[in-house]
Amino acid sequence: MSLIIDGHNLIGALPDIDLADPDDELRLLDRLRAYRARAGGRPLIVFFDSGRFPPTHATDLSSPGVQVRFSAEGQTADDAIVTYLRARGQPGQYAVVTNDQELAHRARAAGASVLRASDFVRRVTAHAPATPSAQAEMLPDPRPAAFEDIYQGFLEADKAHTRFAGARERIAPAEWIERLYGDDVGEAQKAARWLGWRGGKAALPALRDALTHSDVRVRAAAALALGDLGDLGDLGEQAAQLDLCERLAHDAGSMAREAAAQSLARIGDRAAEPALEAAARSDPKSKVRKAARTALTQIRTRREEGRR
């Protein structure tokens, strides 16, 4: 059975390749070539959204056993995968590697099977040479459990909740805020998540400041934490929403842009729609476009329900 790989989704599932890395696609292909050299088997077909590389560059990036394909202009990688499957005489001979539930549903409807990217990661990393980043302690998940597609390499949110449940008795909110401003990126991420869950209104200024942190992982954690804070009052929610729209429109890291869109799905209102519409239409990363579309749907659904 040949594997069709949802490239950017698999990158998000790997613990040591960052979607914000400008070379994330090339690093994934290197990893897949190493896996293919160890495991052999039928070819891997990797689909990416067109963006950094033009579709014609796929031939240059392909290698024996690892084929590379890019979506056409105006087409997502998800659509390209489904189109490819529908053109096959025997789509049942393919399995699509993805954690994207929508793509998984479409792939099955086209006749293919599905392998979760998080399960495939275990195959790819099994017996692979250790790297410093792979040996490093895994960071806690800086997202709510509802968002399955982002940061698959981190620990599950409920495990982080369990850790923080004991930590909150030992560490005061002021110390979490101090850690948010520290140099340790892992501690800053944990601090952002804790402040989102437990910090309340008092955490708002610190989390807004963290949206401009030099590390995209901390910016993303802060963006998600803003969506967790709960009732901030009208002025607080407006300030958080404006900051998230700014991140969505201008942050250089796709991880932070996606996190901003996800938080806007939870706390955004009509004022956030122009930024979300622009991201849904033209962000270079498919995951950001998808998160923006989802946020628009949720905001508009809340508005319609409020009218009933």
Establish if 140 belongs to a structural domain: no
The two tokens of residue 65 are: 């056993």
Phi, psi (deg, nearest 5) at residue 102: -65, -45
Which CATH number is 180's domain given?
1.25.10.10
pLDDT at 135: 34
Asked whether residue 256 carries a pLDDT value surpassing 50, the answer given is yes
| Rg of the chain on CA atoms, in Å | 20
Same structural domain for residues 167 and 265? yes
Establish if 150 belongs to a structural domain: no
Which CATH number is 124's domain given?
3.40.50
Establish if 292 belongs to a structural domain: yes
Establish if 144 belongs to a structural domain: no
Same structural domain for residues 119 and 170? no
Mean pLDDT of 159-175: 51
Same structural domain for residues 164 and 294? yes
CA 268, 270, 273: angle at the middle one, nearest 5? Answer: 80
Establish if 296 belongs to a structural domain: yes
Which residues are CB-neighbours of 93 under 8 A, at least 6 positions away? 1, 2
No. of helices (H) and no. of strands (E), the chain: 16, 5
Quick check: 307 and 278 in contact, CB under 8 A?
A: no
Same structural domain for residues 92 and 226? no
Total domains present in the chain: 2
What does the alpha-carbon distance between residue 260 and residue 243 come to, in Å, rounded to a whole number? 9
What does the alpha-carbon distance between residue 288 and residue 252 come to, in Å, rounded to a whole number? 12
* List of E strands, the chain: 2-6, 44-48, 66-70, 94-97, 113-115
Same structural domain for residues 177 and 291? yes
Which residues are CB-neighbours of 219 under 8 A, at least 6 positions away? 210, 211, 212, 213, 247, 251, 253, 255, 256, 259
Question: H helices within the chain, ranges in order?
Answer: 7-13, 24-39, 58-61, 77-86, 101-109, 117-125, 132-135, 157-170, 173-180, 185-194, 204-210, 216-228, 233-250, 254-267, 273-282, 286-307
- Count CA atoms closer than 13 A to 84's CA, side-chain side: 27
Same structural domain for residues 123 and 183? no
- Residues recorded for the chain: 308
Quick check: 78 and 6 in contact, CB under 8 A?
A: yes
pLDDT at 170: 52
- Count CA atoms closer than 13 A to 243's CA, side-chain side: 27
Asked whether residue 137 carries a pLDDT value surpassing 60, the answer given is no
pLDDT at 214: 86
Examine the fold and report which residue of 105, 135, 165 is the final residue of a domain before the chain moves on: 135
139-161 pLDDT tens trace: 333 333 333 444 433 333 333 44
Average pLDDT, the chain: 79
The two tokens of residue 29 are: 């292909």
Same structural domain for residues 45 and 185? no
Establish if 79 belongs to a structural domain: yes
Mean pLDDT of 76-94: 91
Same structural domain for residues 213 and 125? no
3-state secondary structure (DSSP) of residue 30? helix
Mean pLDDT of 232-258: 88
Domain of 171 in residue numbering reads as 157-307
pLDDT at 258: 93
Establish if 146 belongs to a structural domain: no
Same structural domain for residues 168 and 291? yes
pLDDT band at 51 (very low <50, low <70, confident <90, very high): low
Establish if 142 belongs to a structural domain: no
Same structural domain for residues 88 and 161? no
Looking at the DSSP bridge assignments, the partners of residue 2 are 94
End-to-end CA separation in angstroms for the chain: 50
Same structural domain for residues 131 and 177? no
Closest CA to 99 of 136, 142, 153: 153
Same structural domain for residues 174 and 303? yes
3-state secondary structure (DSSP) of residue 172? coil
52-66 pLDDT tens trace: 555 555 566 888 889
What does the alpha-carbon distance between residue 3 and residue 170 come to, in Å, rounded to a whole number? 48
176-230 pLDDT tens trace: 788 887 778 888 888 898 888 878 888 888 899 899 888 899 999 999 999 888 7
Return the higher-pLDDT residue of 51 and 24: 24
Quick check: 273 and 296 in contact, CB under 8 A?
A: yes
